[in-house]
Structure 1
Amino acid sequence: MADVTALTFLALCLPLIGALAAPFIIRAFGAGGAWLLAVAPLLAFLHFLRLLPQIADGEIITDGYDWVPVLGLRFSWFLDGLSLTFALLITGIGTLIVLYAGGYLKGHPDQGRFFSFIFLFMGAMLGVVVSDSFLMFFIFWELTSITSFLLIGFDHEREAARRAALQALVVTGGGGLLLLAGLLLLWGQTGVAQLSELLQFGDIVRGSPLYFATLLLVLAGAFTKSAQFPFHFWLPNAMEAPTPVSAYLHSATMVKAGVYLLMRLNPVMGATSAWEVLLPIFGGLTLATGSVLAIRQTDLKLKLAYTTVSSLGLLVLLTGFGSDYAVEAAVLYLVAHSLFKGALFMVAGIIDHETGTRNITRLRGLRKAMPLTFAIAMAAAFSMAGLPPFFGFLAKEEIYTALVGGDLYSILATTIAVFGNALMFAIAFAVAMRPFLGRPVETPKPPHEAPVLLWLGPAVLALAGLLVALFSGVIHGAISSPMASAVAGIPKAVSISLVPHVGLPLALSLLTILLGIAVYWQLDRSRTLVGYLLHSVQGPDRGFDHVIAGLVRFAHHVIAIVQPRRLDVYVACTFLCVAAILFVPLISHDELPLGFVWPADLRLQEAGVMLIALFGLAAVLIARDRLTAIVSLGIQGFAVALIFLLFGAPDLAFTQFMVETLAVVILALVMTRLRLSPTDPRHGARRLFDIALSLACGLGFALLLMRSTDAPFNTALTDFFNAHSKLIAHGANVVNVIIVDFRGTDTLGEIAVVAVTGLAILALIRIRGNSERRLATNDPDAEEA
């Protein structure tokens, strides 16, 4: 078990190691470095593959390392049939994507940066599917949004790429925050913060009065991540990313994170009317919307992107449908989709890379120039269309077996599934056949077969779609059945094979094929018809722009109120808050001091120090310029330091002396360099307001200190530090030990604040100095600076 723990931890770290090493390896080996980089995800894949027999036997692997034991926080993982299948897809397809990217981005000046991003993305997605603790799961969940932002916006010089990256981050990041609230509610309802333990509390969650609120929050996170209607718009826009990103994101990673979450929580939150209504409704809408919009596109990647939206909708529909075979159908289709969609996206990238265009209306007759790519495309299209002998056929048969029924609910779901699958059938062959058949046409680049780094990945995935169907019995025992059992929460045995069973599901498959052929035959007319029907429709994508623009306008209005670019207003607001913080608790909780008691044993030297402080205060008030006031203000700090010295705290006194000296020097330096007006511009009501505010803050602090001294002195902390300073921290000076050891983090923070403040002041002074030099040389940029 220790061996499995160490190797699993290493497998999770391998993508992060690859991210660190990628720039150096690419710099040293160029595009050939992709072969070396692919070793990292390949080793992780082999480790997870090694765990298949244990998981197939019903074992669940949970382990990890304590992070903050006092708070019960662990870096822990949870491997069952569901998470292991996802881990295999992420690392296996990730290996092929790394190789593919080496060929696709050959010669790109930022290839090393790209590989770092793709490995970070791989590590984040791997963390999502194997995480056990809620906190670890959420951290990796948000990391997928951040790393996808970096990948989608990789070509950051293009405005479209920047917009798509920002849109994906806003939508998925916002959904992630809602998901965090849902996880906190689950934690509050069950008292557990581990997914492996949560599976035992399904009845408690479903019976909770907060169930529906929790469900909506979880669905918000899942729907935004997996691009469910009406949040589907960000996914096609993410095609601004390089094709290796599109292939990886759409096949095995980010877009399936939401589906993974729904499958993971199905034993906990499923089997309720809300679950079985909301998921099929939104899944069905997404399936229909994506299929129709895919017909409209002429860009190969966009056509495939919208069918990904459709497929995700189908997976969500099946996860929430609730019939006996729905879970098995969802599991089979998820694996099949990962294989054929990854292959087809890479084929689209090959076509673009070797011809210079992805526009389907400008591509014909590539079969002779690219025969291998054509064969790969057809194999993947057969699986996507649900034709034997590929794995997509098994998935489609199981889908119709799960959905058929005599009630209206089943009829509607089946109708939507047939409609969506028929359109996806047409799209599959539009991508796989249209560019390759017919008379060759001129393309921006002379077409030729792709190098091995480009065709190896799609070839392996297309071949895998065939082999897993031919050996479906073995695959079901190792992957499909354990995964279905994890999703259902009870043992499930998947047994469907390539041998068709005569009945309604087979008839629906034949109907799907006939409708798909009809749409493909009239593809151009179908595209024109859909474009005509939707030409005036402003969808959620345009709505996103309106929301962002409105948010920016609202922010401008708010900033105009709360940040009027006047330092005196900022300072006044700050001290108003300070006064409120001091007075409100004292008054509302009846904690005003009992009265002021003048110390009876006040010594002469103490009275002298107080008198010095009063003289300093008077000097501040009557000072005719700010510089004099600042210097006079330092008298107050020195008086406090003398008090510390008189009461036996020389360390604190020395610190106070240093702080006051530095404060006076720095403030005086700033004042002299900024050449502020020597006179005080405040008059009348503003001066009265400032006086009242100053008195309120001073009185508030005085009342708080007086109330503190009313209470009997508690020596618990004093006794603790006296007893443990020498024993634990090996220091005889208790004050030093408190500052350096017991409150070391606090002291470090204070040092950091002072350092940052000093740097900010230095930057302001240098900016001012540069502006003055530009003005002296009549530089036109000086006024703006």
Structure 2
Amino acid sequence: MLTAILSGFLFAIFLVFAGKIFKGKFAVLTALLPLGLFLYFTQFLSDVANGKVITKTIEWVPSFGASLSFTLDGLSLLFSLMITGIGFLVFAYTAAYLKRHTYLDRFYGYLSVFMAAMLGLVLSDNLITLFVFWELTSISSFFLIGFNNTNPASRKSALTALGVTGLGGMFLLAAALLLGNISGTYSIAEMLTMKEAIGGSEYYWLAVVLLFGAAFTKSAQFPFHFWLPGAMKAPTPVSTYLHSATMVKAGVYLLMRFTPVLGGQDIWNTTLIAVGGVTMLYSAFHSVFRTDLKGILAYSTISALGILVFLTGLGTSEAFLAAAIFIVVHALYKATLFLVTGVVDLQSGTRDTTVLSGLNKVMLPVGIAGFLAAISSAGIPPSIGFLGKELTYEATMHAGGLTILLVVAIVLTKILLLWAGFVAGIKPFTGKLPEKFSEVKMPSVLMWVPPVLLALLGIIFGAFPAIIEAPLIKPVVKALGGDAGEQHLALWHGFNMVFVLSLITIGVGTLLYFILKPSSRKEDAMARLDFIAPENLMWKFNRAFSWFSNLWTNIFQNGYLRNYVAIIILFMVVLVGYTLLISSKMVIDYSSLAEVTAYEIAIMLIMLLSILFTVFTDSRLAAVAAMGIVGLAICAIFVFYSAPDLAMTQFSIDTLTVILFVLVLYRLPKYLKLSDYKMRIRDGVLSLLFGALITLLALEVLSEPANSDIADFYAKNAYLMAHGKNVVNVILVDFRGTDTMLEISVLAIAAIGVFGLLKLRLKTSDRVK
């Protein structure tokens, strides 16, 4: 499994050096990678169907509890097959859609990294590695969404998506660390055995809230949904791959994966039902007011994700079965509709549903694919969408409390989604062909075969559900903690209330399609409410936060080093001083301190006079010399207390510092003009407070009883483990090793930045004169 994941990253690296090979007629060969991975995962279908869970563990960073642990069960296998199967079709489709694009190899590189990251995410059993892959999906999707980087709208959409999903990544990291602290492990499989312990923890609710934050932002749940419609600025293959089958379902996957661990409690189930219900109805309603094909599909996608979250929240075996089927349903029909939209856009030059019609006359296979996807979206038999809709209704009717309200919400959502599916899949191809589209031609075979294949699968799986029941659907229910043993997939479940609701949905939705036409006027009317939309509220908050940040920066970071130091010291004095004042444990044992000797008093007087001279002199060189005297006095103290090595170090550093200061100040004016006495008084008071604080801390430390455990450890093991006879040197090397490594990393990053600036070649028009 690790090789399968790494293959995507390795292929992306290979494209850096050999990308030109795949820019022309050989571009379609890139599809062999996801095809090979799809075939690899299909070999596990029989094992998973028989209840087997395939695991693989490779130690990564044991000290941090991070390991490359992968698990293949029903849930991860379903997602892996979607990622690689639809990925294969998207890779092939891209070869024609972006034919001879200047950066086609770069696009394939981004797509490969994203595919590998998604595979790592759904296969990971370790929460830390899951987080790493989670962030890689956000980063790679940023590059994919912003692929048309010359377009300001694309750049803005990419930044918005990265900002929202990146925020979710922070939530996920916090949730992972908290769950690891509660359970003592980062293994999801081990957490499954600790459900009661985790659920009984006082931090359970916090872990759930953090996990919700990650899932809701990634899967575009209200009010974090706005990034997904904006991401439609990306090329159609990106919309197909990321926003129908893979990335946006990562949040749903996370919720499903942790349902057996965190589910079953009110905060989990109620929140998912509420958020999913609001999202599905809100987004389905919004899709009716869109005229752009991608806009309609974007909002219907958000609604579908809301349905999945809603079903996960119901928490019953029936709901899990409906969710498993609907994942397949949505992936098939939505990927088809996106691919069809890409063909329509590329061949006709528009995605405006108010002008598109009659395209069946010039691209019949594409129209057939759109029609089949539309009836699957509507839940019309014999499509698999009908089966998914009936199971969803059945699970909702058995939800328990507020059943009527939930049933009404899901039926209304399905009616509106039927309208959206018909408008996206049927309207552009029916009716009279406008004269301006009469010259439209059939696209490349690579562009119409993938949507036709996906649409046909939606019909085949619906007519013969047994094909996917045992190897795919039931293992998912089992992985979610449900029991699907007595349930069987079939198109006909008898004439019952569920069937009546299906008839109502199809009848009312079809009637709505013929009555309610896409209109720019309705879209403009809806746009008047944008001032209260979550996206605009987010941007208003962003502008307010930016204003506050500028104000804060101008006050506290105004470019003067002395102000920075003063603020840091003041903060430390207030924080530590307050802690000492409220602490009742601070006791200074003066009897344990040695008596003050005459030579110590003399040294202190020399230091005090030197400091006063430094503060009040007008001569720069005199101030430097006085500071040198302070350093030499410190050397004397080290000598008095039998630390000649420290005294020599201090002497060397102090002497060098004085010399450097003199050299630096040589060309500056000899005398200082310090007219701001208020600032000098402020700094003096702050210095005295800081000095008093350090004195109190030192006295308290000296009063604490000595603990020699650490000293004894180093004394015993310095030579045996570190091969050093000098204990002090061993301690320095031991601690400084990691510190030095980090410093080297910082310098390396800085060097890369400097190298980039040195290699920068600006155009004449871009240079600032």
**3-state DSSP class of the match of 2:440?**
coil
Partner residue, 2:568: 574
Q: How far is the alpha carbon of 1:734 from its aligned partner? A: 4.8
Query: Does the 8 Å CA contact 1:283/1:317 hold for their aligned counterparts?
Result: yes
The one-character-per-residue Cα deviations of 1:38-95 (angstroms, maximum 9, x if unpaired) are 3433333333222222221112233322333344332322322112211221222223
**3-state DSSP class of the match of 2:402?**
helix
* 1:13-52 correspondence to structure 2 within 5 Å: 13-32=6-25, 34-52=27-45
Separation in 2, partners of 1:390, 1:564: 65
Q: How far is the alpha carbon of 1:539 from its aligned partner? A: 1.9
The one-character-per-residue Cα deviations of 1:102-131 (angstroms, maximum 9, x if unpaired) are 332233333333333323322332232222
Separation in 2, partners of 1:280, 1:420: 14
Separation in 2, partners of 1:156, 1:339: 29
Partner residue, 1:774: none
Partner residue, 1:359: 352
Query: Does the 8 Å CA contact 1:624/1:679 hold for their aligned counterparts?
Result: yes
The one-character-per-residue Cα deviations of 1:337-391 (angstroms, maximum 9, x if unpaired) are 1111112111111221222221122323322332332232223223222223332
Q: How far is the alpha carbon of 1:308 from its aligned partner? A: 0.5
Query: Does the 8 Å CA contact 1:23/1:115 hold for their aligned counterparts?
Result: no
Is 1:552 aligned to residue 546 of structure 2?
Answer: yes
The one-character-per-residue Cα deviations of 1:527-550 (angstroms, maximum 9, x if unpaired) are 755764674463222222222122
Is 1:728 aligned to residue 724 of structure 2?
Answer: no
Is 1:121 aligned to residue 114 of structure 2?
Answer: yes
The one-character-per-residue Cα deviations of 1:659-716 (angstroms, maximum 9, x if unpaired) are 557756776677679x689524254333233223333434544554455455676655
Consecutive unaligned residues of structure 1, counting only runs of 5 or more, are: 1-7, 767-779
Query: Does the 8 Å CA contact 1:357/1:443 hold for their aligned counterparts?
Result: no
Pair 566,488 (structure 1): closer, same or farther in 2 beyond 3 Å: same
Separation in 1, partners of 2:185, 2:351: 50
Query: Does the 8 Å CA contact 2:588/2:703 hold for their aligned counterparts?
Result: no
**3-state DSSP class of the match of 2:59?**
strand
Q: How far is the alpha carbon of 1:733 from its aligned partner? A: 5.2
Q: How far is the alpha carbon of 1:36 from its aligned partner? A: 4.2
**3-state DSSP class of the match of 2:220?**
coil
Equivalent residue in structure 2 for 1:296, among 285, 289, 294: 289
AA aligned opposite 2:552: V
Partner residue, 1:770: none
Separation in 2, partners of 1:425, 1:658: 81
Pair 186,610 (structure 1): closer, same or farther in 2 beyond 3 Å: closer
Is 1:501 aligned to residue 462 of structure 2?
Answer: no
Equivalent residue in structure 2 for 1:426, among 410, 419, 424: 419
Query: Does the 8 Å CA contact 1:356/1:443 hold for their aligned counterparts?
Result: no
Pair 480,745 (structure 1): closer, same or farther in 2 beyond 3 Å: same
The one-character-per-residue Cα deviations of 1:577-615 (angstroms, maximum 9, x if unpaired) are 34456656666442546276457697xxx9999899778
Separation in 2, partners of 1:418, 1:526: 24
The one-character-per-residue Cα deviations of 1:733-777 (angstroms, maximum 9, x if unpaired) are 55544433553112444667799999999999x9xxxxxxxxxxx
* 1:352-501 correspondence to structure 2 within 5 Å: 352-404=345-397, 409-441=402-434, 446-490=439-483, 492=485, 494-499=487-492, 501=494
Is 1:542 aligned to residue 522 of structure 2?
Answer: no
Is 1:245 aligned to residue 238 of structure 2?
Answer: yes
Pair 706,212 (structure 1): closer, same or farther in 2 beyond 3 Å: closer
AA aligned opposite 2:344: I
Separation in 1, partners of 2:335, 2:210: 30
AA aligned opposite 1:438: G
**3-state DSSP class of the match of 2:56?**
strand
Equivalent residue in structure 2 for 1:147, among 140, 149, 164: 140
Q: How far is the alpha carbon of 1:196 from its aligned partner? A: 1.5
Separation in 1, partners of 2:341, 2:245: 17
Q: How far is the alpha carbon of 1:254 from its aligned partner? A: 1.9
Equivalent residue in structure 1 for 2:149, among 133, 153, 156: 156
Q: How far is the alpha carbon of 1:302 from its aligned partner? A: 0.9
Q: How far is the alpha carbon of 1:303 from its aligned partner? A: 0.9
Separation in 2, partners of 1:636, 1:33: 75
AA aligned opposite 1:468: F
**3-state DSSP class of the match of 1:513?**
helix
The one-character-per-residue Cα deviations of 1:376-411 (angstroms, maximum 9, x if unpaired) are 222322322222333222212222232346988333
Partner residue, 1:348: 341
Query: Does the 8 Å CA contact 2:289/2:518 hold for their aligned counterparts?
Result: no
Is 1:308 aligned to residue 301 of structure 2?
Answer: yes
Partner residue, 2:557: 563
Query: Does the 8 Å CA contact 1:25/1:33 hold for their aligned counterparts?
Result: no
Q: How far is the alpha carbon of 1:300 from its aligned partner? A: 1.0
Q: How far is the alpha carbon of 1:730 from its aligned partner? A: 3.6
Is 1:202 aligned to residue 183 of structure 2?
Answer: no
Partner residue, 2:590: 594
Range with bigger deviation, 82-91 or 579-588: 579-588
Query: Does the 8 Å CA contact 2:288/2:518 hold for their aligned counterparts?
Result: no
AA aligned opposite 1:412: L
Q: How far is the alpha carbon of 1:559 from its aligned partner? A: 2.6
Pair 288,762 (structure 1): closer, same or farther in 2 beyond 3 Å: closer
Separation in 2, partners of 1:607, 1:362: 94
Partner residue, 1:776: none
* 1:661-740 correspondence to structure 2 within 5 Å: 679-705=672-698, 707-709=700-702, 716-732=709-725, 734-740=727-733
* TM-score normalised by the chain length of structure 2: 0.86
AA aligned opposite 1:76: S
Query: Does the 8 Å CA contact 1:594/1:707 hold for their aligned counterparts?
Result: no
The one-character-per-residue Cα deviations of 1:183-222 (angstroms, maximum 9, x if unpaired) are 4554455444322122233344445565555444433332
Pair 665,290 (structure 1): closer, same or farther in 2 beyond 3 Å: farther
Query: Does the 8 Å CA contact 1:295/1:526 hold for their aligned counterparts?
Result: no
Is 1:267 aligned to residue 267 of structure 2?
Answer: no
AA aligned opposite 1:253: T
Separation in 1, partners of 2:590, 2:659: 40
Query: Does the 8 Å CA contact 1:362/1:443 hold for their aligned counterparts?
Result: no
**3-state DSSP class of the match of 2:480?**
helix
Partner residue, 2:761: none
Separation in 1, partners of 2:655, 2:622: 14
* TM-score normalised by the chain length of structure 1: 0.85
Query: Does the 8 Å CA contact 1:585/1:591 hold for their aligned counterparts?
Result: no
Separation in 1, partners of 2:663, 2:348: 65
Q: How far is the alpha carbon of 1:718 from its aligned partner? A: 4.8
Range with bigger deviation, 496-505 or 506-515: 496-505
Query: Does the 8 Å CA contact 2:259/2:480 hold for their aligned counterparts?
Result: yes
Separation in 1, partners of 2:182, 2:444: 55
Query: Does the 8 Å CA contact 1:251/1:342 hold for their aligned counterparts?
Result: yes
* 1:604-643 correspondence to structure 2 within 5 Å: 617=611, 620-621=614-615, 623-626=617-620, 629-630=623-624, 633=627, 636-637=630-631
AA aligned opposite 1:540: P
Separation in 1, partners of 2:370, 2:256: 30
AA aligned opposite 2:567: C
Partner residue, 2:90: 97
Pair 188,622 (structure 1): closer, same or farther in 2 beyond 3 Å: closer
Separation in 1, partners of 2:639, 2:750: 28
Query: Does the 8 Å CA contact 1:385/1:392 hold for their aligned counterparts?
Result: yes
Separation in 1, partners of 2:754, 2:456: 64
Pair 325,759 (structure 1): closer, same or farther in 2 beyond 3 Å: closer
AA aligned opposite 2:165: T
Partner residue, 2:762: none
Percent identity of the aligned residues? 39
Separation in 2, partners of 1:703, 1:424: 70
Query: Does the 8 Å CA contact 2:225/2:302 hold for their aligned counterparts?
Result: yes
